[in-house]
Amino acid sequence: GKGWTQMTGQLRLDDLLQRYCETAPHALAVAAAVDAIAAAAIEIADLIASGDLADASGLTTGRNSDGDVQRNLDVQADAILRRCLGTLSIAALASEEMREAQIVDRDGRICVAIDPLDGSSNIDINMTVGTIFSILPAPDDLSLAFHQRGSAQLAAGFVTYGPQTSLVLTLGDGVDVFTLDRKAGCFRLARSGVQISEACEEFAINTSNRRHWDPPVRAFIDECLAGIEGPANHDFNMRWIGSLVAEAYRILTRGGVFLYPSDARPGYGDGRLRLVYEAHPMAYIIEQAGGSASTGRERILELSAQSLHQRVPLIMGSINEVRRVEELHCDPL
């Protein structure tokens, strides 16, 4: 059956946040941040839906400090989120599009890290893109705000701007999916208690990099390709969307495994994805949904970043497949 409870859409995100506010000392601050991100997401969704009409298509504006090409929308989404979060008491803020983390309010209880626009190479082809966020407690020494372990996260989520705009959220007690009600201008609970299927029938990896992969990753994908004739003992389908958010949404819906491993290309020694605002929040969500997230050698949530834009190999999804990738790393063929 489905790995979640189908909801009627009666419960709104703000109702749920209201209930959550009473659960812990930091909960009010977390709820306010999620609420602000949801408001920003509604604006970003509108902008994306307007495409060329709002100058929100693929135009390139420059490069960010991490070396990525910046599209118009990367910059606009970053500005919208920072404006919406700007009215709150947040201790520190970090974004893919900012060189360094910003200390905002020394009295703030939480720190927020964002990937304002994920999958930006998909903007100009009208494919799903997203926003990812991670909420951490404010440490006494704010210079350490984004050097905490992933397991310290208080909440994490992402938004997918696809045929539907959906917000996937964990507040540390399971995973819920909210769908944007465009007429009412609010998010409504659509799925509650999402659980990732153990039956994994799809793998996702950028196969164009095959010649650069390490032997354990090659071995794993060879097993997927061998299907029923290999040790996996069943066939796989393949998907690659180019947006981490869309891959994660698919895996939450029907299982599967996603890999962005390290490879031998210059600059890809730790893969492509960034630990603080991509891998940490995704790992938290995937684990909260009963899945697993690993570098192949270590659990993602055990890691802490040495630098803000640090990359990390990411293998996530159905638990048995992630375990199999880890086995192949311990015991290369």
Quick one: how many helices (H) and strands (E) in the chain?
7, 16
Q: Spell out the residues 6+ positions from residue 276 whose beta carbon is closer than 8 angstroms to its own.
A: 94, 113, 134, 146, 305, 308, 309, 310
Contact track, ligand AHG, 32-51, x by CB under 6 A: --------------------
96 is in an annotated binding site: yes
Among the residues of 227-279, which ranges form H helices? 244-254
Q: Residue 206, SS3?
A: coil
User: Which positions from 92 to 111 touch ligand AHG by CB under 6 A, shown as an x/- string?
Assistant: ----x---------------
Give the residue, chosen from 20, 36, 84, 118, that forms a contact with ligand AHG under the rule CB under 6 A.
118
Token pair 């709150």: residue = 88
- Per CB under 6 A, the list member of 119, 162, 271, 313 interacting with ligand AHG is 119
Shortest Å distance, C-beta 121 to ligand AHG: 6
C-alpha dihedral sign at 273, 275, 276, 277: positive
Q: Which residues, other chains included, contact 219 with Cβ-Cβ below 8 Å and sequence gap of 6+?
A: 328, 332, 333
Alpha carbons 226 and 232: distance in angstroms, whole number? 8
Cβ contacts of 142 within 8 Å, gap of 6 or more: 91, 92, 103, 106, 111
**Cα–Cα dist 37/85, whole Å:** 7
Task: State the chain's maximal CA–CA distance in angstroms.
Answer: 59
Question: With CB cut-offs between 5 and 8 Å by kind, which of ligand AHG, Mn ion, none does residue 58 bind?
Answer: none
Nearer to ligand AHG, 85 or 123 (CB): 123
Residues between 245 and 264 that touch ligand AHG (CB under 6 A): 260
CB neighbours of residue 235 within 10 Å: 13
**Terminal Cα-to-Cα distance of the chain (whole angstroms):** 36
Residues in the chain: 333
Q: Which does 272 bind (CB under 5 to 8 A by kind): Mn ion, ligand AHG, none?
A: ligand AHG
User: Does residue 244 bind ligand AHG (CB under 6 A)?
Assistant: yes
Q: Which two tokens stand for residue 163?
A: 């045929």
Q: Give contact residues for Mn ion (rule: CB under 5 A).
A: 68, 96, 115, 117-118
Nearer to ligand AHG, 2 or 63 (CB): 63
Is 140 known as a binding-site position?
no
**The one among 51, 193, 242, 290 contacting ligand AHG by CB under 6 A:** 242
> Which of 159, 200 has the CB closer to Mn ion?
159
Indicate which of Mn ion, ligand AHG, none lies near residue 243 (CB less than 5 to 8 Å, by partner kind): ligand AHG
Examine residue 176 and tell whether it contacts ligand AHG (CB under 6 A). Answer: no
Nearer to ligand AHG, 119 or 291 (CB): 119
Using CB under 6 A, pick the residue from 206, 207, 237, 307 that binds ligand AHG. 206
Is 121 marked as a binding-site residue? yes
Question: Contact between 313 and ligand AHG (CB under 6 A)?
Answer: no
* Residue of 109, 191, 272, 329 that binds ligand AHG (CB under 6 A): 272
CB atoms within 10 A of CB 244: 26
User: Would you list which residues are annotated within the binding site?
Assistant: 96, 115, 117-121, 206, 278
Question: Which residues sit in the known binding site for Mg(2+)?
Answer: 96, 115, 117-118, 278
Binding-site residue set for substrate: 118-121, 206
Name the site residues for ligand AHG (rule: CB under 6 A): 68, 96, 115, 118-121, 206, 242-244, 260, 272
